[in-house]
């Protein structure tokens, strides 16, 4: 059974700092991996999608990497801003039906 773990559970940083969020998964037979942002009481906003054959994806200040064989992904946020404060969720897409298996998330607070 696929298990997804995110470290750290919470992170508080000053504005402008670069930061890395970590995601690990137990079964490397994934199809893809998505990073989401969730604001309190809100839905999930897709940030980046990495296919299993890819090593990284970039969108603006965000860069996500994937090491499928070791079961790890990282989300790098450059020059963090208070507006980046949210919960960041990692989810792996499985081979069949592409259901997503989610981690518990990292709660990020960027202080101004």
The closest alpha carbon to 33, from 112, 111, 103, 107, belongs to 103
Min dist CB 83 to other proteins, Å, is 19
Min dist CB 74 to other proteins, Å, is 19
Phi, psi of 95 (to 5 degrees): -60, -45
111: contact with other proteins by CB under 8 A: no
C-alpha angle 33/49/91, rounded to 5°?
35
42: contact with other proteins by CB under 8 A: yes
Residue 94 CA to residue 40 CA, distance in Å, equals: 27
Min dist CB 3 to other proteins, Å, is 10
61: contact with other proteins by CB under 8 A: no
Q: What is the CA radius of gyration of the chain?
A: 13
Which among 11-19, 26-34, 63-71, 76-84 is the span making contact with other proteins, rule CB under 8 A? Answer: 26-34
Residues binding other proteins (CB under 8 A): 31-32, 34, 36, 41-46, 49, 51, 89, 91, 93, 96-105
């Amino acid at each position: 059974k696929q298990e997804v773990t995110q470290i750290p559970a919470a992170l508080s940083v000053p504005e402008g700092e670069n930061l890395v969020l970590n995601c690990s998964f137990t079964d490397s037979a994934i199809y893809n991996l998505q990073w989401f942002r969730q604001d309190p009481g809100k839905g999930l906003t897709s940030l980046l999608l990495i296919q299993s054959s890819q090593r990284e994806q970039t969108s603006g200040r965000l860069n996500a990497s994937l090491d499928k064989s070791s079961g790890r992904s990282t989300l790098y946020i450059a020059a963090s801003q208070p507006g980046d404060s949210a919960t960041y969720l990692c989810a792996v897409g499985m081979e069949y039906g592409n259901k997503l298996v989610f981690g518990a998330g990292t709660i990020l607070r960027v202080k101004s």
